[in-house]
């Protein structure tokens, strides 16, 4: 870490240090010794830093994330299995995902859909609309058609059950899928402790943990339909690729309207 970054905004850095300590403990189970208040003086920070050589510490280093991203995506067939090999997932999340995957569809195969139309990001319509908002509105307008072609695709795979990962603003889309007769499960369905046990409360009470759980459920799915411009979906995809599981986009689903295929959120490459 460069010295300039240590002194440029120490108040922010100080808060980040304490947040990182909590994150290491909460996520990785690594408990660090208490950090004494180093004070707000940039000079004192520099002095503490320069006198800290030889002190045992944990270093978290990040290379150029842009280059890492491009390399992984360019050579994803080779990179994904390597990432999956060395990535250690939280055991309690994996166990709950396996339990939910076994129980929610009575042990039968299921499809997982990651749906984001993002139309809520365009609440104030000004003209001319950005290309992004035009695409969001198009996806929202074509929901019925998207539901119909998705239903036909799922049934063609001899599957009757689908998990939908969608934000609270997309309840209309979830309801449309329920009207098809498919068995639909979403995060709200997981609130049932009599079905999934008391341990599910940890996820119900924490949206971040629920999101991680939904990713692992999507990894377990027989079929996963991704959102093309979503890091959330990409995480699921590379894990599935490493496990030789196919990930679909709406390009793979017969009958998807061309204007939807050209939409920003579904098939943009």
Mean pLDDT by 10 residues, the chain (269 residues): 34 44 61 60 68 67 52 61 72 94 95 81 57 71 90 96 90 93 95 91 91 95 88 88 89 84 50
pLDDT for the residue 92: 93
φ and ψ of 256, to 5 deg: -65, 125
Give the integer Cα–Cα distance in Å for 80 and 72.
Answer: 7
Closest to 215 (Cα-Cα) out of 237, 189, 191, 193: 237
Q: Are 187 and 214 in contact, with CB atoms under 8 Å apart?
A: yes
* pLDDT for 17: 46
Rounded CA-CA distance 115/104 in Å is 19
Query: Could you say which DSSP state residue 189 is in?
Result: G
**Closest among 225, 216, 79 to 162, alpha carbons compared:** 225
Residue extent(s) of CATH 3.40.50.11350 domains in the chain:
90-261
Determine the topology of domain 90-261 in CATH.
Answer: Rossmann fold (3.40.50)
Q: What is the pLDDT of residue 87?
A: 72
């Amino acid at each position: 870490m460069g010295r300039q970054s240590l002194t440029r905004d120490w108040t922010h850095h100080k808060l980040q240090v304490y947040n990182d300590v909590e994150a290491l403990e909460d996520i990785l189970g690594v408990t660090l010794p208490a950090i004494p208040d180093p004070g707000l003086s940039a000079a004192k920070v520099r002095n503490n830093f320069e006198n800290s050589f030889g002190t045992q510490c944990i270093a978290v280093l990040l290379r150029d994330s842009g280059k890492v991203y491009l390399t992984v995506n360019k050579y994803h067939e080779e990179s994904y299995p390597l990432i999956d090999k060395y990535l250690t997932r939280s055991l309690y999340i994996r166990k709950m995902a396996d339990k939910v995957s076994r129980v929610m569809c009575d042990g039968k195969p299921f499809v997982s859909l990651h749906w984001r139309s993002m139309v809520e990001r365009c609440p104030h319509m000004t003209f001319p609309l950005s290309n992004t908002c035009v695409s969001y509105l198009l996806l929202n307008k074509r929901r019925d058609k998207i539901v119909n072609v998705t239903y036909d695709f799922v049934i063609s795979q001899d599957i009757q059950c689908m998990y939908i990962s969608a934000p609270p603003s997309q309840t209309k889309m979830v309801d449309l899928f329920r009207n098809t007769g498919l068995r639909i499960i979403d995060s709200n369905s997981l609130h049932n402790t009599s079905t999934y046990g008391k341990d599910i409360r940890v996820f119900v009470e924490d949206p971040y943990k629920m999101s991680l759980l939904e990713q692992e459920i999507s990894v377990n799915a027989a079929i996963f339909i991704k959102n093309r411009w979503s890091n959330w979906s990409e995480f699921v995809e590379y894990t599935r690729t490493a496990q030789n599981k196919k990930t679909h986009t709406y390009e793979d689903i017969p009958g998807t309207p061309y204007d939807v295929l050209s939409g920003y959120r579904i098939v943009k490459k």
